[in-house]
Structures are given as structure tokens and as C-alpha cells.
Structure 1
Amino acid sequence: MSSTPSPSSSAAQLLSPADALVVVSQTGAVRQLSLNRPSALNSFTVEMHKALSSALDAAAEDAGVRCLVITGSGRGFCAGQDLNEPGMAPVPGETPDIAAVVERHYVPLALRLQSMPIPVIAAVNGVAAGAGANFALNCDLVVAARSASFIQAFSKIGLIPDCGGTWLLPRLVGRARALGLAMLGDKLSADDAQKIGLIWQVVDDGELANAVETLAQRLAAMPVSALAEIRRSIDAGQQLDYEAALRNEAAVQGRLGRQADFSEGVAAFQAKRPPVFRDR
């Protein structure tokens, strides 16, 4: 299956070489990043991490980008860490430093996604395994093709979920399911992932591109500054007691209430016209 979303309107433009490790394209205010190692199911290497980090930073800094879509080229979304990369697989007389790999690449990746100033959609077009699965779950909304699957493959090689997996899984599906997914490492179909609340939506393979583009364009037209604050406040709320969460809501509302998007939203409501949001 290779129903990778791609910009389809005449306004679409390619912002990087088609053979880059991360292909960057844009339609209107929606930017798309496509992991591009299809022969290796888009598994992570040091060079791909560098390219992805740069692409995420560029999207965050570009005022013309109001929604980000991340997907994979070919038949997979991302198979996690490439275990064939030097320094990963154990060799006689040497012990790989897995902690250094996680600290250097996966911690910054998860934190960058959580701090994006715009909504981020993962368009999961195929298998998402190991860190690739949790990479997708770090995005705000996960839309998966029906033939896609999610695998917490870490226990199969004697490791624990990383890229935020130990934090995300119990919050998304509860402790019992999180333990089952992480300990057993079984393949979870996209339909089952949606049923247990792990992801947002499943669509037929042939509809993935259109469904994601429609959703992304909808988000891009919304007050994206408020959307980013929704993410931050919901994540913060999981660490706060009730009163602290209430006070955080008040503080965030105060900041948003001083922005132009709030004034525009109220004016549009009163005039019974569609709003035009511009804050970012």
C-alpha cells in the first residue's frame, strides 16, 4: 500500500529535492514532510534525524505555515530506528550506547513536536513500529489508512518504549492496554487502534490523501495559536491538580483574549460571517 498523501492543488509546490531524506512540499498554508527511505520503511538514521529536525524547525519558524502533515513514502510510515546503522547493533567487544541515541535524537524529536506552534497531523500510510509508532502518537491528530498498523516492537529486542511511549501510551489507552501493547509487542491494526482511542481516525487506503488534506486545510483556517495552546494546556493538565488546571486555563485565556484572533472571532460571530484568523 502506498497511498501517501501528496499536495494535489495547483498551488502545491515542492520545497526540497524529491530524493531528499525528508521531502518537503506545501499546498497553501499546509506543509507536508514525507520521510523518504522507502526501501527501509523510512526507518530513522542519524542523517534522517538531522533532516527531520531541520524541516520541523523551518515549519515552526515560517509564518506562512499554519498546519503540518507528516507521512511516509512508499508502503510504510516509519519502522523506528534503523538497527543496521553503525553504533546500534551489538558487535563483539563493544556495547552500543542506546541512551546516547535516545538523548541525542528521540528526546529532541518528541519535545519539538510537543512545542510546535501549529497543529501537526500524522498521516500513517503503512506500518508504524517502535519509535516510528510513538513518533506518530506525538502528533496532535493521527489519521491512518485502514491497512496501516502500529507495533510497540521494543520488547522484542529487550528495550522499553521510547520517543515518549511510556508517557503517551497509558494516557491514550490506559495502563492495562499500555502494558499489553508494550510488553507483548503485537501488531495493532488501524481499526483496533482507533477503537481503543490510540489514534483519531481511520480511512480507506485510497481516501487517506484527500481526508488528510481536507483536515489539514480545515485546521489551517482555524485560530492555530489557540490550537497550539489547547495541546499545551491538555498536556499540562495531566500533571496539575484540579485547581491548578483551572488557574492555568484562566492564564491561557487571558493571553489568547488579547490576541487579534479573539477579536476577529467575536466580530465574525456578531456579523454572521466566516472568520479570517491570522495569529500564529
Structure 2
Amino acid sequence: MMIKEFFYKKYGTEVTDSIMTASNEVIVESKNSDITKHHLIKKHLIDITVDLDISPKLIDQDVTWGMDFSGWIGSYDSEVGKEYMIIGAEPSISRNYQLVYGFGNKYNLNIDQTASYHYEKEDDIWSYFTRLLIKENESIRDFLEKCYITDLCHIVPQGCGTVESICKKLNITAKEWETFRTSLAKKFLLEEIELVKPKLLVLHGNVSRDFFKTLLKIKFESIGKIKNTKYSISKAEWKGIPILSIPHLKGQVRNKLWKCADKERFESAKNIVKYNFN
């Protein structure tokens, strides 16, 4: 299956055709904030959950939903896929749809400029993620062009930044949301991994790791505690694909670890990864 055919199933035709070009690029500036057809996203939500065992309350609430579209830079070759596949939990979204962490091609910028834009952006994840895994003598552009990022759950109510706020808006329990998130991951994520053909899966945060650990019965092995923190890094394997599990790349963890003034913390994480995965 070509990746675009899969996206038609996951995101629907309108969203996919709006954000993905004929040359299999995704554009950061895709116009979506002015689209008033919120009912199309709600209809797609109903369509993709009709066969899932989830709480009816979750679908029945009168809220505006948004979707997080998988991201990469450059074009996407369905025969080759991407080397690094990063998986998080669910998005924080305030529009109809967006790219995961805004990771995609910049309009009117070439691939080198786009890579530099993401690497140098202050509130982006790509500076420290690149430094964590980039190989010696590899360019930033070459590394970032190998990356692909997605979430367990790609659709959430707009204006929610935490599971607590999602549950409050939908009037459901955290367990009901977890069931919904897991159901969507089972429906789409495992097929998406097969299509992307990664050489390394990178799980950031406990939620994505727990999905693999609990649902897929994968055993994770701790490979090191990060210096001066409570955080650790672990590894596993699924269907022959190595898995790297790291602390979350955003939120409070970013400030306590990845962008912390204590440089020993990042260097410790980097050395653990380098020793086990390079």
C-alpha cells in the first residue's frame, strides 16, 4: 500500500489532500484554520470508530475536534520509508489539523533551509533530538530527512493540552480516554509502522512505551539512568525493529532534561544512546 492510501483511511480524503502534496511532501503552512467544515472531521471520527469498543459519550459530546498529521521533511518514498520513527501519545491542538510538532516542509524553503529551520527553532524538539542520535559526520539535513513522527492517537478535542483537560471536555474518565487512544493505535499505528519501515522506533514518554509494553507484551530493558535526574532510558525490540524508549521530548521533561542548564544531563542521555544504538 502507498502511504497516501493509508492516510486516506487514517485522516480522511480532505485533510490528506489539503496537507500532502502530489510529490508526497507535507507542508507546515497548509491552510486549515479558516476551514469551517468542522463536521467533516467529526464525521471522519465517527467513521473510524464505528467498529471500536469505546464509550458512546466520547463521540456524542458537542465539541470541536482536531487532527495531528504524521510529519516528515523532504518527500516520502513509499518503497524506502524513513529510518527513524518517533511515536508520542496524543496532540495538543487548537485547529482543524496540524503536523505533529509542526514537522514538515516550509513553504518556499528548500530541504536544507527547512532542516535548518527545525533544528534552530527554539521551541522545537529537533535540536536536541538530532544531537541525541545524529551520526558522526552526518549533516543535519541528512539526519532530519530520515525522521518521521506520529502519535498513538491522532484526533483530540481542540483546546486541550492534557489528558485531564480532554476528559473534562468530553465528560469521560481517564480510563475511557485510554481505551479510545489504545483502540486508535491498534487500528492505525501498527500498520503505519509496517509502511514506514523504520530501522529504529523511538518512543518518547511513558504512554507510548506502555502501549508497546502492555498491549504488545514487549519486555523493555533499562540501559542507563540519566545523570542528575530521575529519568532513565530503555530498549526493546519488536518484529526485528530495535526500540529506543526515552523521556518525553516536550513539557516539563524538556526543561528538566533536554534543554536543562545542567549540560551533564543531556550528555549523559546522549552517551547512553550512543553506547547502545550507534
TM-score normalised to the size of structure 1?
0.29
Larger radius of gyration: 1
Higher RCO structure (Cα 8 Å, ≥6 apart): 2
